[in-house]
Amino acid sequence: MVDRALDASHLSELVHLELLQHAKSVYEEQGTLTDDVLSALHFMFGPPLLQALDLVDHQSVTLIKSEPAGRIVYQVVGSSGSPYLCLPSAGYCPCLFFSFAVLKRKEVPMCKHMLAILLASAMGLVKETTESDDHVTNLLLSAAKTDAEPT
């Protein structure tokens, strides 16, 4: 039974990646996402899609690379103006929606912040900055401290 769940999860991830690759190709060719691509994205990712596209439109996704270690984190400025430090390689976003709708209820595969990272990356619309290892470490420690505080 566990193997089937892992197979379904793996298959779903492969479909997501293939769809994002298709979206990237279409965007590179046409400079926009077609209605067919948007429909497919909405089918796969659900309600967070429109909010994620809004974040991409507002250039809210920044890749932060540390030097000299080369660690990568993403900062997504949410619609409220709050920055979220996301770790797509670990499948993690600190937003409440991620905690409840993605992890607990499993309603959608990801939150708008994580989806915005994937879309902005596919469309070549990620801002990039380089910071010191110490600065990135402090960002992560600050985010961890904020996440651990009771609400």
> What is the structure's pLDDT at 142?
85
- DSSP-assigned letter for residue 108: S
Answer whether residue 13 shows pLDDT above 70.
yes
Q: Is residue 4 part of a domain?
A: no
Q: Give residue 43's pLDDT.
A: 93
With respect to residue 116, please indicate whether it lies within any of the assigned structural domains: yes
Question: Could you tell me if residue 124 is inside a domain?
Answer: yes
pLDDT digits 0-9 by tens, 73-90: 999 999 899 999 999 888
Segment 101-139, tens digit of pLDDT: 888 888 888 899 999 999 999 999 999 999 999 999 998
What are the counts of helices (DSSP H) followed by strands (DSSP E) for the chain?
Answer: 6, 4
Q: Residue 114 domain-assigned?
A: yes
For β-strands 61-67 and 127-132, DSSP reports them as: parallel
pTM attached to this predicted model: 0.87
Number of domains comprising the chain: 1
Q: What's the rounded mean pLDDT across residues 9-36?
A: 89
| Owning domain of residue 99 | 46-148
